[in-house]
Amino acid sequence: MASSKLKSKFLVVRVTDKTRTKFHNKAQKYGQPSEVLREIIEAFNDDRLTVQPPVIPKESLYVIGK
């Protein structure tokens, strides 16, 4: 999962306390939350992870035609 390359950039995202707690609890099974986030990003960049819109859209990311 971990890469030996120097990591000097940051990504920041705002979420609710409930979302953060749920993610941290689930991430513990695989490592530190930062390691899990890094793996998600690398998997997305490598086309190993795809994002599907939720059944009930929550954010404008999924709005088509606007």
Phi, psi of 29 (to 5 degrees): -65, -25
CB 42 within 8 A of CB 5: no
CB 10 within 8 A of CB 43: no
Alpha-carbon dihedral of residues 55, 66, 13, 21, nearest 10 degrees? -20
Q: What is the pLDDT of residues 9-58, one digit of tens each?
A: 999 999 999 999 999 999 999 999 999 999 999 999 999 999 887 787 66
Lowest-pLDDT choice from 2-6, 7-11, 53-57, 58-62: 58-62
- Name the pLDDT band for 63 (thresholds 50, 70, 90): low
Residue 6 confidence (pLDDT): 87
Q: Does residue 65 have a pLDDT over 70?
A: no
Rounded to whole angstroms, the Cα distance separating 62 from 18 reads 22
